[in-house]
Amino acid sequence: MLGRVRLMQMTSQAFPIGGYSHSYGLESAIEAAAVHDEATVGRWITEVLQFSLATYEIPMLGAFAAAWAGEDFAAVQELNAEFLATRESAELRAATVQMGYSLLKLLAALPDLPGPLLDTLNDLQEPTLPCVWSGTAHAWQIPAADSALAYAWAWAENQALVAMKSVPIGQSAAQRVLLKVGALIAAMNLDLPLERRSNFAPGLAILCSQHETQYSRLFRS
């Protein structure tokens, strides 16, 4: 039961790791008029979920969870380096490093976390968000599947909040989008075979790169 409560804490918008400051390319899509109303917001979130998060980032969380559970800290380091190498733009790379760093600093201020966990994370030059997130979930005895679902939900909710501020769409529209996206998250295959894992989404990569030189913007990515 405590693990569930800890999971709610991790997914809260009040959890101070800086997720609110990133749009992950959505602000660029809005600038390009590819996203401009409730329907296109829903399509954007759905397609990024299906072709990037669900096919790579979420399976990587599973791999991290297995490494933490097996106390295979060398594997944790390798997975962290692999994840960094897959970030398609400078801003996406900076986002996962910034949020990983913020979560690690928060963990250092919290009681009762295992020393080996913090030691391993502190040994990493640039711990990514999935790396620190999965380690936190393991330390708090949160099942890997629940951790992955919560990670995807936190990302989707953040995207909806970005859309509310920048498109803009209303609160009811955002909740309708999240209702549909939530069903997709619940149906994700958390154990995707290695040969099917991919974050090949060139349109997303281009928009994220264009955001780096976008003149007027609210978000860091």
CA distance 154 to 33: 25
pLDDT given for residue 192 in this prediction:
85
Q: Is 70 exposed, middle or buried (0-12, 13-18, 19+ CB in 10 A)?
A: exposed
Contact (CB, 8 A) for 139 and 117:
yes
Give mean pLDDT, residues 200-207: 94
CA distance 68 to 23: 29
Alpha-carbon torsion angle 208, 59, 157, 86, nearest 10: -10
Task: Give the chain's domains with CATH numbers.
Answer: 24-211 (1.10.4190.10)
Average confidence score pLDDT of the chain? 93
pLDDT tens across 57-112, in order? 999 999 999 999 999 999 999 999 999 999 999 999 999 999 999 999 988 888 77
pLDDT tens across 101-131, in order? 999 998 888 877 777 888 899 999 999 999 9
Q: Which two tokens stand for residue 199?
A: 């974050």
- In which residue are the tokens 């090949």 written? 200
